[in-house]
């Protein structure tokens, strides 16, 4: 069973940074790619960054140049370094496989506000 536990969110001022972590069950690292998704109030969940098992990355236009996704296969963990945060980045952030591998975790809230 795929289990995903996200952490690292919080309240940050515009221009600030946060680093999110996602601890995944070992099975999920047999999947070719992992991703970070986000869902803002009243909006659909969207994929913002993805990384393959080989380390190739892909980003939504909104994340390019500001977010960096990485993974530590030995720790079964995926990270999202978010820099130059904007109010429009406010959302609940989730990790999962790409495509989605299983049930969503609880997510971690990111709020960007002054």
Rounded CA-CA distance 44/41 in Å is 8
Q: Using one digit for the tens of pLDDT, what is the confidence trace for 51-105?
A: 998 899 999 999 999 999 999 988 989 999 999 999 999 999 999 999 998 889 9
The burial class, CB within 10 Å (0-12 / 13-18 / 19+), for 26 is: exposed
Q: CA-CA distance, 38 to 47, in Å (whole number)?
A: 7
CB 114 within 8 A of CB 66: no
- Where do we find the tokens 């299983």? 102
């Amino acid at each position: 069973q795929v289990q995903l536990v996200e952490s690292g969110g919080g309240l940050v001022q515009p221009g600030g940074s946060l680093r999110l972590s996602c601890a995944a069950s070992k099975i999920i690292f047999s999947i070719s790619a992992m991703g970070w998704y986000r869902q803002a109030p009243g909006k659909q969940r969207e994929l913002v960054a993805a990384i393959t098992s080989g380390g190739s990355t892909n980003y939504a236009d909104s994340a390019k140049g500001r977010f960096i996704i990485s993974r530590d296969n030995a720790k079964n963990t995926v990270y999202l370094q978010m820099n130059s945060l904007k109010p429009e980045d406010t959302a609940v952030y989730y990790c999962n496989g790409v495509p989605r591998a299983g049930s969503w975790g609880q997510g971690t809230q990111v709020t960007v506000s002054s």
